[in-house]
Structure 1
Amino acid sequence: MPENRTTMEDKLRKNIQVGSPAGRKQPRITLTADDHDRLSALVRAATGTMPEVASCLAEELDRASILPRGQAAEDIVCIGSQLEYRDEAAGTVRTVTLVYPGEADISQAKVSVLTPIGIALIGLKAGQSITWETRNGTVRELTLLGVRQPQDA
Structure 2
Amino acid sequence: MLSSVQEMRTLTELDHTRISKLLPREQAGSAIAAVLDAADLVPAREVPADVVTMYSQVLLADLATGTQRKITLCYPRDAEPATGFVSVLSPVGASLLGLPVGALAGWTTPDGQQASGRVLDILFQPEASGDYTL
TM-score (norm 1): 0.73
| SS of aligned partner of 1:70 | helix
Partner of 2:25: 47
Runs (5+) with no aligned partner, structure 1: 1-21
Q: What corresponds to 2:70 in structure 1?
A: 95
Give the deviation of 1:140 after TM superposition: 1.3
- Of residues 8, 16, 20, the one that matches 1:36 is 16
Structure 2 counterpart of 1:27: 7
Task: Read off the aligned partner of 2:46 and give its amino acid letter.
Answer: Q
Give the structure with the higher percent helix. Answer: 1
Aligned counterpart, 1:16: none
Which protein shows a greater Rg? 1
- Alignment length (residue pairs): 126
1:149 corresponding residue in structure 2: 125
CA-based RMSD of the aligned residues comes to 2.1
CA 1:141–1:56 in structure 2 vs 1: closer, same or farther (change >3 Å)?
same
The question of whether the paired residues in 2 share the 8 Å contact of 1:88 and 1:141 is answered with yes
So what's the TM-score if we normalise by structure 2?
Answer: 0.83
Distance of aligned partners of 1:108 and 1:69 in 2 relative to their CA distance in 1, 3 Å threshold: closer
Q: Kindly indicate whether structure 1 or structure 2 has the higher relative contact order, using CA contacts under 8 Å at least 6 residues apart.
A: 2
Code of the residue aligned with 1:74 in structure 2: it is A
Structure 2 unmatched runs, 5+? none
TM-superposed CA distance for 1:69, in Å, is 4.9
For residues 108-131 of structure 1, what are the alpha-carbon distances to aligned partners after superposition, in whole Å with 9 as ceiling and x for unaligned? 211111110000010010011122
Percent of aligned pairs with the same amino acid: 36
